[in-house]
Amino acid sequence: MEIDDVVFEVRESLRQEKIAERGRIPPELRHELSIEIVRKLKEHIHRKNFKFIHCYISFRSEVETRDLIEDEIKSGIRVVVPVVEQLDGKSLLIHTEISGLDNLKKGTFGLDEPVERRLSSLESLDAVILPLAAFDRRGTRLGYGKGFYDKFLHELPKSVERIGLAFSIQELENIPQLPHDESLDTIITEREVIKIFHNV
C-alpha cells in the first residue's frame, strides 16, 4: 500500500470520527456554541475591515452561519456563497453573490443553495470562511473528502484569509497531510481564535 493510501485511510477514519462527535452535540448546545463562534468571527471581520467574504451556508451539525450571513449583508459587506453544480457528470464548485437567504432550494448533496445565480469575480475577496470536519494547530483542515475547497483555495491569492469555523471538540493533535492540502490561516472555536503562523 502506498504512503498516500495509508494517509488517506487515516484521514477518512478521523473525519468520520469527528463528524460523528460533532453530530452528538445536543442541538441547543450546538446553537449556543455557534453563537459564541460567530460573535468572535464578527469581531474578527470588523477588526480587519473586511468588505467582501465567501461563506458556506451551514448544514446539519456545522457551525451555524445563516444569521452571520444575513447580518453581514445588512451591514454592507458583500457575501458570496459556494454552490456545487453538475457539469458533464462532474461536480464543481461555483460562487454566487447573494442579497439574503430568503430564496433557497435543496441542491447537490442536499445542501441549501440560492435559486438565483449571480456569479461574481472574486478579485477583491478578503476572506473565505470554511466548515471543518476536524483541524489541528498547524492549520491542517479535514473537510468532507470531496476536495472542492482545496482546489478553490489553491486558485486564490495568499492574501485572502482562510478562516475555519469549528467546535473545540473537533481539534486533533495531528492530522496527516497530503500534498494538495491548503492550510488555514485562522481557526475560530467557541473557546478561542487560533492564528496559524506559516513558515515562509
Q: Report the distance separating Cα 129 and Cα 163, nearest Å.
A: 5
Indicate if the pLDDT at residue 78 is higher than 80. Answer: yes
Task: Supply the pLDDT for residue 182.
Answer: 93
Q: How confident is the model at residue 2 (pLDDT cuts 50, 70, 90)?
A: low
Residues 6 or more apart whose Cβ sits within 8 Å of residue 98: 69, 73, 79, 80, 81, 114, 118
pLDDT tens, residue by residue, 92-134: 889 999 999 998 988 877 889 898 888 888 989 999 999 999 9
Q: Report the distance separating Cα 79 and Cα 96, nearest Å.
A: 8
**Range 83-97 average pLDDT:** 85
The structural domains of the chain, ordered by start, are: 3-195 (3.40.50.10420)
Q: How confident is the model at residue 3 (pLDDT cuts 50, 70, 90)?
A: low
Residues 6 or more apart whose Cβ sits within 8 Å of residue 158: none
Q: What is the DSSP letter of 177?
A: P
pLDDT tens, residue by residue, 157-188: 999 999 999 999 999 999 999 888 899 999 99
Please, are residues 189 and 168 in contact by the beta-carbon 8 Å criterion?
yes
Joined together, the cell numbers standing for residue 46 give: 470588523
3-state secondary structure of 102: coil
Q: Report the distance separating Cα 72 and Cα 51, nearest Å.
A: 9
Please, are residues 164 and 149 in contact by the beta-carbon 8 Å criterion?
no
pLDDT tens, residue by residue, 6-48: 899 999 999 999 999 999 999 999 999 999 999 999 999 999 9
pTM passes above 0.85: yes
Residues 6 or more apart whose Cβ sits within 8 Å of residue 32: none
Task: Supply the pLDDT for residue 180.
Answer: 84
Task: Count Cβ atoms within 10 A of the Cβ of residue 65 and give its class: 0-12 exposed, 13-18 middle, 19 or more buried.
Answer: buried
Question: Residue 126's CB: how many other CB atoms inside 10 A?
Answer: 17
pLDDT tens, residue by residue, 8-17: 999 999 999 9
Q: Report the distance separating Cα 94 and Cα 83, nearest Å.
A: 5
**Range 51-68 average pLDDT:** 97
Task: Supply the pLDDT for residue 160.
Answer: 97
